[in-house]
Amino acid sequence: MRQHLWRWCLISFIAALMIGSMIPVTGYAQQGSVPVTGPTGPAVFGLNTHLATRYPDATTMDTPAALVSELGVTWAREDFHWHRVQPQPDVWDWTFTDAAMRALLSRNINVLGVLGPSVGWATPYPGDPSNDVSYYAPDPDAFAAYAQRVVTRYRRYVNHWEIWNEPDHPIFWRPAPDAAAYTRLLLKTATAIRAADPSATILIGGINPYDTTFLREVAAQGGWDSFDVLAIHPYVDPYGPEDGNLAAALTDVRAVASQHGQKPIWVTEVGWASGPGDRDTVGRTNEQMQADYLVRANLMLWEAGVAKIFWYSFKDDTNNPYGLIRYGSGRADYRSRKPAFEALRTLNQQIAGATYVSRRDLFQLNVVDNFETFATWQRVSEPNGTLRPSSRARSGRSGAELSYNFATTGNNYVAFERQPALPLLGEPYAVGVWVYGDGSPHNLKVLIRDAEGEVLQFVLGPAGAPGWHFLRVPILGTVEPGNVIVPGANRRVDFPASLVTIVFDDIVDSFVGSGTIWLDDLTVITGYEVYDLRLQRGNEALDILWSPPGAWVNLATRSSSGRVIDRSGNMRTVEAQGGQMRIDVGSAPVYLWHQR
């Protein structure tokens, strides 16, 4: 059962793909809407700018900084690379960091500084040049001394520091990620930063939220109290923010925090390349899709409770077009803007001064099993747990108690088969279940048998923190080969289909132990995939609407007309008829200012 479909690996409030376009949708009816955390404060949509490390001319740093300001960005994530500021133990060079800080700070742009990676002379690895970048683990004392020197120089202006970048990634911590070694570095560096600036805010170094093994190990090593903010990098490309379950990135991170202490969550990198790149060699995302994803991703993460979000990146790198600016003739060329540039500028302009009100969905949730009849669920193959009635239920008379005991360091799971299989009503685009978690990282999965006899596996997500929450997973996409349990023709669900098995699988094989989670109301999800974030500014209402498959939406309004603004900032007027405005909503979000 160790088959993981990474892009579906956590919960989300999203729907899956629908076929067709321009589907008429009427009203605001919410049937079975799913509660979400909601924003923790005003929207902050920042940018990874890389001025100090990638822009080649310190004397003209105002050129790119002016464009950052034009975007309406109030926060920039900047690298303070060790090899640039201290190329040798007795040499310090502040030319580029000083120039970048002057250019950004003079425009009232706050800076999040990233400390690291290593410099060759500070590591035991002999293969890297002594005065150039190295991703091998450095001497912790030397790194802490460098960090303290940087913070001391800029403490009057920069008060937020991220210690390393992606220490859980094998490219950025060599020869292999080592949570114990990183925790030692984290502890020493945090102490050094606070000695230089007691008011500083410290961030952990941008971890992958879809596998929290590294984060849990940092906590186990005593590193949890050394940082103030959880920084995560929830990349889901080449999939879109909806079918990639982007908004679910916080689920397992919050489960870890529930055990060790809550902290604000920042997304210090998220993005999509507008063509072939490191994470998508085919290039399934074009420039227009990148612009759409930028807006949708920022809004989804903000609405899910992320305090600050930093798009990656400002300018394309060679063969890695994640930027808002095309690579052009080189690193100094900022003349060629992509649609994503206008999308971020428009987003910041329209959100400025607006406050969050609510989210509206048109999803319909229909319960297909409330777990009140237990003769139909039988354990199969692995004797690692039980599923039995429980008085703990989110609603109704009873729910289900799933107890597990994973006794080895191998792959452990427990599976329960529905007899007979549970028909999925209609042609749902997602399935879900209410879960009361135990803080474990173990994944809840479902197996679905389709009309062709193919059995496919879908990952609902980790059990999560204690408390009832709804896990869901889209089921209309093509699954990866590893999630085909019984082969068939096309690796897609062909209807009619039925749910045959629930599986609880240890995501971390090294885990040995037992626990209990609770389930209630196994649900199928149908309806229209239309998203509507509702905000308010003064006397005006703002609806931000999008629909990945495309739809028409009729919105109730007290206005005689409304201003519709597209992702590029172009405006048109829509007249109301009968107290409603009919809006053409496609994959690109539109902003509708009107009176409700």
Average pLDDT, the chain: 90
For the stretch 528-555, pLDDT in tens is 788 899 999 999 999 999 988 788 888 8
| Confidence bin at 15 (pLDDT 50/70/90) | very low
Percent of the chain with pLDDT over 90: 75
40-64 mean pLDDT: 97
Give the separation between CA 88 and CA 129, rounded to whole angstroms. Answer: 11
| The pairing of beta strand 455-462 with beta strand 385-390 | unpaired
DSSP string, 164-188: SS-TTSTTTSBSS--HHHHHHHHHH
The amino acid sitting at 166 is: E
How much is the pLDDT for 372? Answer: 83
How much is the pLDDT for 37? Answer: 66
Residue 478 has which token pair? 């093509």
Q: pTM for the full model?
A: 0.89
| The pairing of beta strand 23-26 with beta strand 551-556 | parallel
User: 46 or 373, which is more confident?
Assistant: 46
| Confidence bin at 97 (pLDDT 50/70/90) | very high
Considering only CA atoms, which of 324, 385, 377 is closest in space to residue 50? 324
Question: Residue 489 phi/psi, 5° resolution?
Answer: -95, -45
Least confident residue range of 159-168, 223-232, 442-451, 460-469: 460-469
Give the separation between CA 379 and CA 247, rounded to whole angstroms. Answer: 32
Residue 508 has pLDDT above 90, yes or no: no
Cα–Cα–Cα angle for 30, 36, 38, nearest 5°? 110
| Confidence bin at 21 (pLDDT 50/70/90) | very low
Residue 3 has pLDDT above 70, yes or no: no
How much is the pLDDT for 454? Answer: 96
DSSP state of 239: S
3-class DSSP state of 225: helix
CA-to-CA separations, 586 to 347, 453, 546, in angstroms, rounded: 16, 35, 6
Considering only CA atoms, which of 245, 176, 264, 254 is closest in space to residue 216? 254
DSSP state of 12: -
Residue 23 has pLDDT above 50, yes or no: no
For the stretch 121-135, pLDDT in tens is 999 999 999 999 999
Q: Print burial letters for 393-420: b (CB count within 10 Å at least 16), e (below 16).
A: bbeeebbbbbbbebeeeeebbbbbbbee
